[in-house]
Amino acid sequence: MTSLPDWMRPPRPEGWFAEDLDRLPEAPRHTELIDGALVFMMSPQRIWHSRVVTAITQALTDQAPADFEVDREVTVRLDNRNRPEPDVVVTTKRVSADGTWFAPDDVLLVVEVTSPESEHRDRTVKLRKYAEAGIRHYWLVEEEDGRPVVHVYELDEPTRAYAPAGIYRSKLELDRPFPVVVSLDSPFRPTR
């Protein structure tokens, strides 16, 4: 058995902190911090996942009001021990383009597109953590017969938990966090 490279060893007994991610140039590109542990996205990304992320990013970019920004694959610093990387994030324009993460107060919407390795985290851990951090809107995108299905959640402020706000197939049409329409059919038709 080979030993771990030095960069993979936590800098302190209690594990990693959010700021440590910025000092790990050797880490794989999509490295997240969940409860003080590094989570690596090691499996190759599926084309389906990439196409869904691109389509949602483009639709949100095209329809977002001028005071919002849409980005993909940038971490959100939920607290000192959690810095997940959503597939898509909508933020306020006041966020600096020089940063490496977003603060929850600046995040309006996070979108996670599940993959086999992230399914559990996206459905449970991230859903809970984003809500506890006060992020108002969460979309969880799953695959059903080769097409995306979007589970939409809205934050219930008093409980800091998400309430289901709908499940969308074929077309996602919402008025919150801003009016948006996303086609969920093309280019996601299953090939036979």
What's the confidence (pLDDT) of residue 1? 60
| Rounded alpha-carbon distances, angstroms, from residue 97 to 55, 68, 71, 100 | 22, 13, 11, 8
47-183 has CATH 3.40.50.10190 classification: no
pLDDT in tens, 46-82: 899 999 999 999 999 999 999 999 999 999 999 999 9
The pLDDT-based confidence of 25 (bands split at 50, 70, 90) is confident
Place of tokens 């980005």: 71
Domain ranges of the chain: 6-40, 47-183
Percent of the chain residues past pLDDT 90, beyond the cut: 70
CB neighbour class for 14 (10 Å; exposed up to 12, middle 13-18, buried from 19): exposed
Write the Ramachandran bin of 17: left for phi over 0, alpha for psi from -120 to 50, otherwise beta: beta
Put simply, whether the predicted model's pTM sits higher than 0.85 gets the answer yes
